[in-house]
């Protein structure tokens, strides 16, 4: 865990993000700032694995390659991507694999994310599948390997800061994009511009920033972020704090169901006599769909169902609203619980402990006080 105190990020173009790490730069979004249907760039979380690369002097001429287990290796500029392939725009959640890490007991290693390592933007680009079909996948093509221009956190440019990969089936999913725009504007440099991968539903580390190469492999990729316990979780549950060397692990793929309360903000104070409150937020579920969201103010003794707005497309988050009756003045704790279409719900207490703290989807809690402090 990071020992340094949290502080607000004072970075041009960013609004009150909370710094979790400075080298590399990591900052999460307070949940109350995630109250927009489409997350503005200034409110979108930041997750870097290395130092920043040199900005592109001409974004249109930024070049990336596809090679390996393909019939025809390709080298394409952003301009050629735009001119050659159909454009697609989807509103999709991007979420850090360590979102929720700070709720594990005992503490797990890594940046202490709460619930703010996620955002839902409109991404514009081309389907990676269209480019892969043009390159021609060989029968031996099983896995991708991703490479970016960012040096590692020591500044070395001959070492990848992060190099994840995915099964070809996920790469061919229509929502997996080579993206050059975010919310209708050129992709900001801090978010991987001029070109990045967007791999929705899976850990954000797969969505390589400053993309330079996709290597198609005949085996699971073994780059930084794929081996040891990096982005891997035990196949079978282990005791919290246990060593994992003797346990089989698997690569973290689809992220678990999660919901957040974006209104009211934590520690809100309401006027004395308030007897009803609107609560709203967002929910998402990796590769799966959100089936329902419920809220409680009595520790789960009773639950109030929320009204869900339909998502714009697959991987969009679900915005929800609920009205809660308050029996009187006093202190209340609001919990939101989302359940996916396979019946899996968020827990009150963090489950699935793993040493790097991935995939913790504990319920979000917001405290409110009605009337004077009691």
- Cβ-proximal residues to 111 (8 Å cutoff; 6+ apart), any chain: 2, 20, 21, 26, 98, 101
Which pLDDT tens digit goes with each residue over 122-158?
A: 999 999 999 999 999 999 999 999 999 999 988 888 8
DSSP state string for 261-330 = EEESPTTEEE-TT--EEEEEEEEE-TTS-EEEEEEESSTTSS-EEPEEPPPSSTTPPEEEEEEEE--SSE
Residue 131's H or E segment, with its range, is: helix 128-135
Q: Specify the residue for token string 């899976």.
A: 202
The pLDDT of residue 2 is above 60 = no
Which pLDDT tens digit goes with each residue over 222-259?
A: 999 999 999 999 999 999 999 988 899 999 999 999 99
- Of 119, 210, 132, the closest CA to residue 174 belongs to 132
Domains observed in the chain: 7-251 (3.90.420.10), 258-370 (2.60.40.650)
Which pLDDT tens digit goes with each residue over 81-105?
A: 999 999 999 999 999 999 999 999 9
Q: For residues 302 and 323, what is the distance between their CA atoms, to the nearest angstrom? A: 14
What percent of the chain lies above the pLDDT cut of 90?
Answer: 91
The pLDDT of residue 9 is above 70 = no
Residue 177: strand pairing partners: 127, 198
Q: 10 Å Cβ neighbour count for 305? A: 11
Q: Look up residue 327 and give its two tokens.
A: 């029996």
Environment class of residue 53 by beta-carbon count within 10 Å: exposed (0-12), middle (13-18) or buried (19+)? middle
Per-residue pLDDT band for 7 (boundaries 50, 70, 90) equals: low
Q: Kindly report the average pLDDT of the chain as a whole number.
A: 95
3-state secondary structure labels for all residues of 184-243: CEECCHHHCCCCEEECCCCEHHHCCCCEEEEEEECCCCCCCCCCCCCCEEECCCCCCCCC
Q: Is 79 left (phi over 0), alpha (psi -120 to 50) or beta?
A: alpha
What percent of the chain lies above the pLDDT cut of 70?
Answer: 97
pTM of the shown model: 0.95
Sheet strand arrangement including 318-325: 258-263, 276-284, 318-325, 307-308
Q: Please report the pLDDT score of residue 373 as a whole number.
A: 64
- The whole-angstrom distance between residue 219's C-alpha and the CA centroid of its chain comes to 25
Q: For residues 225 and 223, what is the distance between their CA atoms, to the nearest angstrom? A: 6
Q: Look up residue 8 and give its two tokens.
A: 């607000």
Pairing of strands 211-217, 63-68: parallel
């Amino acid at each position: 865990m990071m020992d340094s105190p949290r502080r607000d990020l004072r970075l041009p173009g960013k609004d009150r993000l909370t710094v979790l790490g400075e080298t590399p730069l990591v900052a999460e979004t307070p949940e109350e700032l995630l109250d927009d249907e489409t997350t503005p760039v200034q409110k979108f979380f930041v997750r870097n694995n290395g130092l920043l690369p040199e900005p592109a002097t001409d974004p249109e001429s930024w070049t990336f390659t596809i090679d390996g287990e393909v019939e025809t290796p390709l080298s394409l500029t952003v301009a050629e991507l735009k001119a050659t392939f159909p454009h697609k725009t989807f509103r999709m959640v991007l979420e850090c694999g360590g979102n929720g890490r700070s709720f594990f007991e005992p503490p797990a290693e890594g940046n202490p994310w709460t619930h703010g390592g996620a955002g839902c933007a409109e991404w514009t680009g081309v389907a990676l599948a269209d480019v892969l079909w043009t390159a021609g996948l060989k029968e031996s093509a099983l896995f991708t390997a991703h490479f970016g221009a960012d040096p590692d956190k020591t500044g070395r440019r001959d070492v990848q800061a992060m190099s994840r990969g995915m099964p070809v089936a996920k790469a061919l999913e229509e929502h997996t994009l080579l993206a050059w725009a975010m919310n209708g504007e050129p992709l900001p440099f801090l978010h991987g511009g001029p070109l990045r991968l967007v791999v929705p539903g899976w850990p954000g580390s797969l969505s390589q920033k400053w993309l330079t190469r996709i290597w198609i492999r005949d085996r699971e990729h073994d780059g930084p972020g794929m081996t040891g316990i990096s982005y891997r979780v035990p196949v079978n549950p282990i005791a919290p704090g246990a060593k994992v060397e003797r346990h089989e692990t698997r690569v973290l793929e689809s992220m678990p169901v999660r919901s957040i309360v974006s209104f009211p903000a934590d520690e809100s104070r309401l006027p004395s006599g308030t007897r009803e409150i609107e609560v709203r937020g967002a929910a998402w579920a990796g590769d799966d769909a959100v089936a329902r969201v419920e809220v409680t103010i009595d520790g789960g003794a009773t639950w109030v169902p929320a009204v869900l707005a339909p998502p714009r497309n697959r991987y969009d988050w679900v915005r929800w609203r609920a009205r809660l009756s308050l029996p009187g003045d006093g202190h209340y704790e609001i919990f939101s619980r989302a359940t996916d279409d396979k019946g899996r719900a968020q827990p009150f207490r963090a489950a699935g402990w793993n040493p790097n703290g991935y995939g913790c989807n504990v319920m979000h809690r917001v405290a409110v006080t009605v009337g004077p402090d009691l």
